[in-house]
Chains A and B, each alone.
Chain A
Amino acid sequence: MDAPFALEMRDISKRYPGGTLANADVSLDVAAAGVHAIVGENGAGKSTLMKILYGIEQPDSGAILLDGTPVQISSPARAIALGIGMVFQHFSLVPSLSVAENVVLGAEPRRGLVLDLPAALRSVGELAERFGLPVDPAATVGTIPVGQQQRVEILKALYRNAQILILDEPTAVLTPQEVAELFTAIRGLVARGRTVLFIAHKLPEVLAISDAITVMRGGRVVGNLRTADATAEELTRLMVGRDVSLQVARTSHAVGPVVCAIEGVSANNSAQLPAVNDVSFVVRSGEILGIAAVEGNGQSELLEVLSGLRQPTAGRITLGAEDVTGWSVRHLRQAGVASIPEDRLARGLAAEATIAENMVAERIDRPPLVNRGILDWSAIRRAATELVNAYGVRTSSVQVPVDTLSGGNMQKVVIARELSSQPKLLLAAQPTRGIDIGATEFVWQSLIQARNRGAAIILTSADLTELLALADRIIVLSKGRLVAAFPDPANLTPEDLGTYMLGAREQPAAERAMAS
């Protein structure tokens, strides 16, 4: 054996107190000064493995070697001391403090008793410049964009002299342009001798940035590949354990009459600031209309208006022939609107209620589930069991609380309930956020089937590849305004959409109006 690996993990096993075997004999060899990707579905054990490496969890057995030397990583502080840094998916930043204060927090430069802020500003500025991570050290963290916040996280690790940097799903929160900038920064880190561990489940990104890939499934390593030899299909098969088709056949299908027309709708966000600004479009029976927008550009508020959760400040919404502007959630549901909300646990489900209760929540105000005001529990259980079987929710019983299910299975419960009402208009907000490829495939197929049955579907997603794969038409919102509309997304790329999403470009009004 020649030069030792920067990091070796040998036969790591970890069983959680609940009995879940999160890691089983996992071994990992990471070469120095490269990008090593670890891919796998949710629950494959990637996070546990990284928590062990960062000292948050202790393995039951196995060894960790840095540059060939065995080490014990008993805590994050120890990991930092050994030169391991981690950037979590949820940033660990204090919003009201400056960039420099956030970076030096816990390892502050001092002059006697006094915190040496000028020194902090200086060294953070130098660090940012040296590693090509441009950010203003004096800016308040809460006011800078997410992409820059991520740079602050990386700077925090570098400030503590991290040689190995773990990035946990770093692209999940970024726009395509920000992803490109991040990749440039990662290449810069590697060029300066740092080793990057890249945890991900978006395969195109993994293939673009990594040198080597480890695939995990069910707590085990199921493949080690060199990126040059890997393909997305092969990786997907390894991750899921079977062939998965995330290719949606663009079958020709009949687009019907207009189901819902939105005319000049404006709405405020929860802080009473304008969030949706004079938006007009229609959606027809048998089509999926995709809304592309960077998070926080009015798409959430727009869907809330359409589902009746938020009152518009201007404009008109018609459903079929009826003016439904300002209708309540319940009336809209009765009129045929169904909704897969963005936040499953807060709005899609009652987390502590049972699967059965969640499944029937929308129709327990009428027979056959209710009999002279009394719930008919056996009918409810029957109805719920039918849906659980039809939608393949993996559970032992419909009587267990819904929050004991995995994310993918929870989403199946939401989708089963919403689609069982045979909606005319389905609002799907981020329907595959945080669920694994197997469940994503199922969600996609469910949406396609609903569309083919004649439902009109409005889909928002932070994942542009999802929009491009599913949507029959795409509109783009930027700062609450409709800035572009594409009647045929077949030839669009994420980058095309990105320039409009960031507000850098705008279609002429006539073109937008025709396509929307």
Chain B
Amino acid sequence: MTELLTTIISATFFFAVIRTTVPLLLAALGGLLAELSGALNVALEGMMLSAALTAVIVSASYPWWIGLLAGVLAGMALGAVMALFHLRFGADVVLVGFAINLMAAGGTVFILAQATGGDRGTSLALPSKSIPRLSLSWLGAIPGVGGTLEAALSGHSYLTWATVILVAGIWFMLYQTATGLRLRAVGEYAPAAAAAGISPDQMRALGLILSGALAALGGVQLAMFNYIGFTRDMTAGRGFIALGAVLLGARRPGGVAIAALLFGAFEALAIVLPALYTSIPGELIHSIPFVVTLVALVIYARRAQLLTRRRVAGVEGAT
């Protein structure tokens, strides 16, 4: 037990939590925008996966940032495809989302094999690049806590820090700009927005395309920082956990960030635990993040029920 505690309460573990959280958080922010516009994006998983492979292949021949941009474009393209089929052709958004997930799962393996000349599992054959680390070694000069701070915060990718800015930026966009107001209005009650001269389809397309871009950033971080290179099915359900974080975070950017951090912490735990408890099967430990997601969602649903009840009671009391 003491071993576990010393492992968890350490700068290294904190570093690991940030590392596992960032891809989840980016995808969850994407899920948030789509959800608020009223189009549930279950394709986060497929978008992450497609963007990860795109970034790996492109960065093998171009600078890292072009790889990153290519990944983002791939995610946005998938978002646009969802918008096209859902909004223009009237297909169910969840079905379109699952179609994209299935396509991405199979399609990435196929393209991987084409790109590597036959390897269906990993991109080891490709000299793909990584996102540079931001060194904050000057933190170490701070007396006392300097060493800990440096170990926890120095050496994350540029994208990690960009993610922090994105959380604030998305909050600003949603609550301080007209576009955000319109997006939320469309998601909550589209006829009201339509009556005010706003096109619900346009706002949802925007939501889905931005959602694709953010999920893609999550995939890029995964394949160009957390791991270097692409492995088949490397997202491993993160897109769905991200969707859970959207709901658990009460559909607000700050809440989503906290929920993603929680899931990230359990994922990090699942990485360190097998070394400490060799008697417990690794598969069981690796299922922890999913079990936590499930439990968290059940708690969330219960809480939402109670809140609705209280709100209804409040309204009835007011009239």
Bound CA–CA A145/B196 (angstroms): 21
Which residues of A lie under 8 Å from residue B191 when comparing CB positions? 90, 92
Please encode chain A, from 78 to 107, with 1 for each CB lying within 8 Å of some chain B CB and 0 for all others. Answer: 001000000010111111110001100111
Please encode chain B, from 181 to 208, with 1 for each CB lying within 8 Å of some chain A CB and 0 for all others. Answer: 1101100110111111110000000000
Contact A156 B196 (CB under 8 A): yes
Partner of B197, one of A76, A90, A296: A76
Q: Find residues 41-89 in chain B having any chain A CB closer than 8 Å to their own CB.
A: none
Which partner residue on chain A sits nearest B196 by CB separation? A106
- The answer to whether B303 has its CB under 8 Å from any CB of chain A is no
- The answer to whether B9 has its CB under 8 Å from any CB of chain A is no
Contact B313 A273 (CB under 8 A): yes
Which residues of B lie under 8 Å from residue A113 when comparing CB positions? 177
Contact A106 B197 (CB under 8 A): yes
- The answer to whether A346 has its CB under 8 Å from any CB of chain B is no
Contact A105 B181 (CB under 8 A): yes
- The answer to whether A108 has its CB under 8 Å from any CB of chain B is yes
Contact A114 B195 (CB under 8 A): no
Which residues of B lie under 8 Å from residue A114 when comparing CB positions? 176-177
Which partner residue on chain A sits nearest B178 by CB separation? A108
B255 CB to nearest chain A CB (Å): 15
Bound CA–CA A479/B316 (angstroms): 8
- The answer to whether A271 has its CB under 8 Å from any CB of chain B is yes
A171 CB to nearest chain B CB (Å): 18
Contact A106 B315 (CB under 8 A): no
B10 CB to nearest chain A CB (Å): 42
Please encode chain B, from 298 to 319, with 1 for each CB lying within 8 Å of some chain A CB and 0 for all others. Answer: 0000000000110011111011
B313 CB to nearest chain A CB (Å): 6
Contact B176 A115 (CB under 8 A): yes
Partner of A102, one of B192, B308, B312, B318: B192
Known: A102-B192, A114-B176, A271-B308. A108 touches B181 (CB 8 A): yes
Please encode chain B, from 168 to 182, with 1 for each CB lying within 8 Å of some chain A CB and 0 for all others. Answer: 000000001110111
Which residues of B lie under 8 Å from residue A145 when comparing CB positions? 319
Which residues of B lie under 8 Å from residue A156 when comparing CB positions? 196
Contact A273 B312 (CB under 8 A): yes
Bound CA–CA A113/B172 (angstroms): 10
Contact A143 B314 (CB under 8 A): yes
Contact B193 A94 (CB under 8 A): yes
Please encode chain B, from 92 to 127, with 1 for each CB lying within 8 Å of some chain A CB and 0 for all others. Answer: 000000000000000000000000000000000000
Chain B interface category by residue count: 20 to 34
- The answer to whether A77 has its CB under 8 Å from any CB of chain B is yes
* Number of A-B pairs, beta carbon distance below 8 Å: 73
B172 CB to nearest chain A CB (Å): 8
Bound CA–CA A159/B318 (angstroms): 27
A94 CB to nearest chain B CB (Å): 5
Please encode chain A, from 109 to 124, with 1 for each CB lying within 8 Å of some chain B CB and 0 for all others. Answer: 0100111000000000
Chain A interface category by residue count: 20 to 34
- The answer to whether A378 has its CB under 8 Å from any CB of chain B is no
Q: Find residues 201-242 in chain B having any chain A CB closer than 8 Å to their own CB.
A: none
- Which of A91, A96, A105 has the most chain B CB atoms closer than 10 A to its own CB? A105
B180 CB to nearest chain A CB (Å): 8
Which residues of A lie under 8 Å from residue B177 when comparing CB positions? 113-115
Bound CA–CA A92/B308 (angstroms): 22
Bound CA–CA A158/B181 (angstroms): 20
Contact A92 B309 (CB under 8 A): no
Known: A97-B181, A105-B198. A92 touches B192 (CB 8 A): yes
- The answer to whether A252 has its CB under 8 Å from any CB of chain B is no
Contact B309 A106 (CB under 8 A): no
Which residues of B lie under 8 Å from residue A97 when comparing CB positions? 181, 184-185, 188
Contact A272 B309 (CB under 8 A): yes
Contact A105 B189 (CB under 8 A): no
Which residues of B lie under 8 Å from residue A77 when comparing CB positions? 197
Contact A93 B192 (CB under 8 A): yes
Which residues of A lie under 8 Å from residue B178 when comparing CB positions? 108, 110, 115
Contact A106 B198 (CB under 8 A): yes
- Which of B181, B195, B309 has the most chain A CB atoms closer than 10 A to its own CB? B195
- Which of B178, B196, B312 has the most chain A CB atoms closer than 10 A to its own CB? B196
Q: Find residues 129-184 in chain A having any chain B CB closer than 8 Å to their own CB.
A: 142-143, 145, 156
Known: A115-B178, A273-B312. A94 touches B195 (CB 8 A): no
Contact A106 B193 (CB under 8 A): yes
Which partner residue on chain B sits nearest A102 by CB separation? B192
A109 CB to nearest chain B CB (Å): 9
Which residues of A lie under 8 Å from residue B194 when comparing CB positions? 92
Bound CA–CA A273/B315 (angstroms): 12
Contact B312 A271 (CB under 8 A): yes
Which residues of B lie under 8 Å from residue A93 when comparing CB positions? 189, 192
Which residues of A lie under 8 Å from residue B198 when comparing CB positions? 105-106
- Which of B192, B193, B316 has the most chain A CB atoms closer than 10 A to its own CB? B192
Which partner residue on chain B sits nearest A294 by CB separation? B319
Bound CA–CA A459/B101 (angstroms): 54
Contact B188 A94 (CB under 8 A): yes
Contact B176 A95 (CB under 8 A): no
Please encode chain A, from 471 to 483, with 1 for each CB lying within 8 Å of some chain B CB and 0 for all others. Answer: 0000000010000
Contact A105 B196 (CB under 8 A): yes
Which residues of B lie under 8 Å from residue A105 when comparing CB positions? 181-182, 185, 192-193, 196, 198
Known: A114-B176, A115-B181, A479-B316. A95 touches B189 (CB 8 A): yes
Contact B316 A92 (CB under 8 A): no
Contact B181 A92 (CB under 8 A): no
Bound CA–CA A310/B117 (angstroms): 67
Please encode chain B, from 275 to 319, with 1 for each CB lying within 8 Å of some chain A CB and 0 for all others. Answer: 000000000000000000000000000000000110011111011
Contact A94 B309 (CB under 8 A): no
A138 CB to nearest chain B CB (Å): 15
Contact B189 A80 (CB under 8 A): no
Which residues of A lie under 8 Å from residue B318 when comparing CB positions? 143
B40 CB to nearest chain A CB (Å): 18
Which partner residue on chain A sits nearest B189 by CB separation? A94
Contact B188 A96 (CB under 8 A): yes
Bound CA–CA A91/B318 (angstroms): 20
Bound CA–CA A182/B124 (angstroms): 73
Q: Find residues 41-76 in chain A having any chain B CB closer than 8 Å to their own CB.
A: 76
B319 CB to nearest chain A CB (Å): 6
A312 CB to nearest chain B CB (Å): 19
28 contacts between A and B (CB under 8 A): A76-B195, A76-B197, A77-B197, A90-B191, A92-B191, A92-B196, A93-B189, A94-B184, A94-B185, A94-B193, A95-B188, A97-B188, A101-B185, A105-B185, A105-B192, A105-B196, A105-B198, A106-B196, A107-B196, A108-B178, A114-B176, A115-B178, A142-B315, A143-B314, A143-B315, A156-B196, A273-B316, A479-B316
5 new A-B contacts, CB < 8 A, other than A102-B192, A115-B176, A143-B318, are A97-B181, A107-B197, A115-B180, A142-B315, A273-B313
| Interface residues in chain B, defined as those with a beta carbon under 8 Å from any beta carbon in chain A | 176-178, 180-182, 184-185, 188-189, 191-198, 308-309, 312-316, 318-319
CB-CB nearest 3 A-B residue pairs: A106-B196, A92-B195, A108-B178
